[in-house]
Structure 1
Amino acid sequence: MEFSNHTPFPALAFESVMPDGAAFHTIVLRQTFELHDGSLVLAQAQKPLATSDRFYGEPNRSSVAEESDLAPYKPLCDVVIVGTAHAPSGRAVPRFAVRAQIIASSAASGQMGASAPQVLLDRRLAITGPREFVRRSGLVRRASQLMTLCTLGLVRLPAWKLTSPEPIAELPVRYEYAWGGQCLVSANDPAAKRVPKEFLLNGQQQAEHPDQGDSPVAHMVCEDNPVGIGFTEPWFLKAVKPERIRAPQIETDGAPVTAQAWIDSLRGQPSRALQPVAFGVVGKAWSPRRALAGTYDEHWLAERHPGLPDDFQFGYWNGAPEQLQTPHLKGDEAILLTNLLPAGTTGTDSDAEGNTLLRIQLPGHLPMGWAYTDQALKFAPLLLDTLSIDLSDASKPAVTLVWRATFLRATGIQRFEARFIERSDINRVSALPETGVGIDLGAANG
């Protein structure tokens, strides 16, 4: 298929396959905006398409700052925020909240004159200062054991406690500060001899371990977030005998991390409080995202390789956490952010509690395309499936919109032209017949 880009934005066409082997085309286009005094304007220098994942630090040992734009299809829209949480009024406090909301425009939602706006997304997180899970002293533990015996188990004092958070003024809203992490014991650690045999890495695992310079004898990670803090295992506590474990500093607002939840996790009892939460991208190899990639086993090798497995789901390409995924946006929504910029930043407001409020109105532009067959010219809309807000530099906030169109190769499209119109022109353009080739791969994927 021939592709031409008649917009000022970077765009690309490429081909992929369905799990059933059917080939399809993807058109991806990226817009970069800058925020000036609370208003979005097109950046003079448009950022190129991201062709690979970019990490905050070492790849796969830190969280993803920006994911590749070259996803074949996203069934939902990812909302990703890169930035730092700032305490209200800029004063350090032990705990405060951050919030991200997306509101449908009145015209888009059909609620003109309605009293309540349509909230498409509302995510609140709690930020705390540094805190730790601390092992109680031996005397307290012995007293606890005596109390448990005397009360026939009715009263039990946990062996660990969670310290009160220290005051904090700001914190990156990244997975490095959320629940997760790893338990690792290196070969030269005195604790290595205390690791139970069933948790030791075998020879092949040690040979394949990425830390060849200092290969560990035991290594277990939190599958949901290997780069976080707080995660541990009973065997690790017995072998290493730590007195303190760093606790998560980002949690779901309304589901606080507690010492009891942490102790329950050691017993294999999951807790809503101990879930990785942040505003960033979930790693492709992390659970539960990894499961959406399907099953790569002997059946796949024998029957499917090099194609996709039967149970592959296109939701794998959605990198935002589930709570930050929403149906495809229209591009004219309002974004409301709380405490994600320093107090007093140009273009922000504050409420009675000193919270810093930022409102961003998406401009309503509409990338689209003309699809040519040997018989007709048809209108093909692009779907907005990635909204990225970069607040890492408070003086230069930026918003990126990524749009995508997909259609089966079998539909016979010979040429596709990427175009760009104002939303006011949509009624005139959409009166033309659509391609009939734009496909909902999520539905097709079952």
Structure 2
Amino acid sequence: MAQPNIVNHTPFVVEPLFFYDERNVPIVTVAVKASCDIVGTHHLRFSEQQAPLCLAGEYWGAPETASYKYEPEAVPLKLTTDVVLVGHAVPEKEGDSAVKVGVKVGPVSKIVQVYGNRLWDKVGDTFQPTPPQPIERIPLNYEHAFGGRDPRVPEGEPQYMSTSNPVGKGYMAPGQDCLVGMPLPNLEDPRQLIQSWRDQPSPAGFGFISPHWLPRTPLAGTYDEEWQRTRAPLYPSDFDRRFFNAGSPGLVAAEYLSGGEDVVVINASERGALRFALPGLAAPRCKLSFHDANHVEMECRLDTLIINTDEHQVFLIWRAYAVVPEGHQHVAGVSLWLPRVDVLAGQRLSKGEV
């Protein structure tokens, strides 16, 4: 299929993506990605080099054993905005062994309690965590949250693995004794702190949830023999579009963010607390032109916000999609523009006439 002609009147990256919906009807998604640099602690400016869409995603390590650092951005749609924090916990002062890391974006917020490394130890007749070691920098990923597998049982035994975070640490299978020397997670929910080695809290984190982990898995629907007979390769009849949102619990907004929201990030940057506002842009608009001279105009919705405090960058992704019953090949062109000219950190946000 010939690629449609793209006319981009913005500084951002635009990519048309082609999918089929639950009814096997072709849809075209227009994804728009903006990259910003965090200047100091209080300002954003648009990056000179705009990052491309990360279509395949990126992991924190080997894909088989690691969590997503960046989810695959080849997503047809999201029902609301995912907020994601990528980075490391940073102590408030040298020698601290515990710190609270937090992010707030408009109405969306989350706090995670972070501890230095700890192990389960036996003290008399009880099992207790060792005192946490001083924190230097701890990755804010699910490898450091509660989960993983019990190392005492053979690999491939699913009942001895955390289904909500198979790459984490601290999981001990039901019916097993406490394993002395077992690491505790570094990241905990302050409302659900571990009190006993028998506790199995929900993983605490700020990152993307993998599609085969709880709580996303049930939203994907039922892939069984009936699905094989009656619907494959379509989505199952009980597929739920909420599956496409991959933000961690607490960081999936109740409704789309609109831009201009205030952002606060604490204890995740060597620079100190970060406080800035998202670009107050009117949402980008796009037009799909078809080979029969018709067209459809759409407003893109901000459905993904990524704050990387290691690189001090912010990524915003907007999407819009349209059903194209005539087929993907019917799309002749994609145009993208901003409804008005805005200014951020002295940089105009449009190029060419809009």
TM norm. shorter chain > 0.5: yes
Query: Are the equivalent residues in 2 in contact too, given 1:364–1:423 (CA < 8 A)?
Result: no
Contact preservation (8 Å) 1:50, 1:69: yes
Taking structure 1 as reference, are residues 78 and 51 closer, same or farther at Cα in structure 2, changes over 3 Å only? same
Alpha-carbon shift at residue 235 of structure 1 (Å)? 5.1
1:217, distance to aligned residue in structure 2 (A): 7.7
Deviation at 1:229, TM superposition (A): 0.9
Q: Retained in 2: the 8 A contact 1:55–1:66?
A: yes
Equivalent position of 1:353 in the other structure: none
CA 1:218–1:22 in 2, change beyond 3 Å: closer, same or farther?
closer
1:181 maps to 2:158: no
Residue 251 of structure 1 corresponds to which residue in structure 2? 188
For residues 218 and 381 of structure 1, the distance between their equivalents in structure 2, rounded to whole angstroms, comes to: 47
Aligned match of 1:389? 307
Q: Is the 8 A contact 2:30 2:320 kept in 1?
A: yes
Deviations 1:192-251 (A, max 9, x none): xxx6xxxx6xxxxxxxxxxxxxxx4856311100111110114554xxx83221111111
Instruction: Give the counterpart of 1:65 among 66, 69, 85.
Output: 69
| 8 Å contact kept, 2:33–2:317 | yes
Residue deviations 1:22-60 (CA, integer Å, cap 9, x gap): 332211111111122332222111111111121111103
Structure 1 residue 70 displacement after superposition: 0.5
Match of 1:341 in 2: 269
Larger radius of gyration: 1
Match of 1:444 in 2: none
Shift of 1:300: 0.4
Structure 1: state its 5+ residue gaps. Answer: 104-119, 142-158, 186-194, 201-215, 346-355, 426-446
SS of the residue 1:325 aligns to: coil
CA contact (8 A) 1:5 1:11 kept: no
Please give the alpha-carbon distance, in whole angstroms, between the structure 2 residues aligned to 1:181 and 1:414.
45
Residue 50 of structure 1: aligned partner: 54
Unaligned runs of 5+ in 2: 343-354
How far 1:423 sits from its partner (Å)?
Answer: 4.8
Mapped partners of 1:411, 1:360: distance in 2? 45
Match for 2:188: what amino acid?
A: E
Distance in 1 separating the partners of 2:147 and 2:7? 43
Q: Judge conservation of contact 2:161–2:173 (CA < 8 Å) in 1.
A: no
Note the 1:279-318 alignment, pairs <5 A.
279-318=206-245
Deviation, 1:75, is 0.8
Report the CA distance between 1:322 and its aligned residue: 2.3
CA contact (8 A) 1:5 1:417 kept: yes
CA distance in 2, matches of 1:414, 1:59: 35
- Give the SS at the match of 2:338: strand
Q: Structure 1: which amino acid aligns with 2:303?
A: D
The partner residue of 2:284 within 367, 384, 393 is 367
Alpha-carbon contact 2:287-2:336 (below 8 Å) kept: yes
Choose the corresponding residue for 1:402, options 304, 317, 320. 317
Q: Could you say which structure has the higher helix fraction?
A: 1
- Work out whether residues 364 and 422 of structure 1, in 8 Å CA contact, stay in contact via their aligned partners in 2: no
**What secondary structure sits across from 2:226 in the alignment?**
helix
Q: Residue 17 of structure 1 is aligned with which of 16, 20, 28?
A: 20
Counterpart residue number, 1:331: 259
Q: Answer yes or no: is the 8 Å Cα contact 2:285–2:339 preserved in 1.
A: no
- Which digits, 9 at most, give the CA deviation of each residue in 1:124-156, with x for residues without a partner? 1111122222234xxx43xxxxxxxxxxxxxxx
Shift in Å at residue 379 of structure 1?
A: 3.7
**Is residue 226 from structure 1 mapped to residue 154 from structure 2 by the alignment?**
no
* Alignment partner, residue 125 of structure 1: 112
Match of 1:5 in 2: 7
2:337: which partner in 1? 420
- Out of 278, 287, 290, the residue aligned to residue 205 of structure 2 is 278
In structure 2, C-alpha distance between the alignment counterparts of 1:280 and 1:19, rounded to whole Å? 27
- Deviation, structure 1 residue 2: 3.8
- Residue type at the aligned position of 1:127: V
CA distance in 1, matches of 2:179, 2:297: 63
Give the number of aligned pairs: 332
TM-score, structure 2 as length reference: 0.85
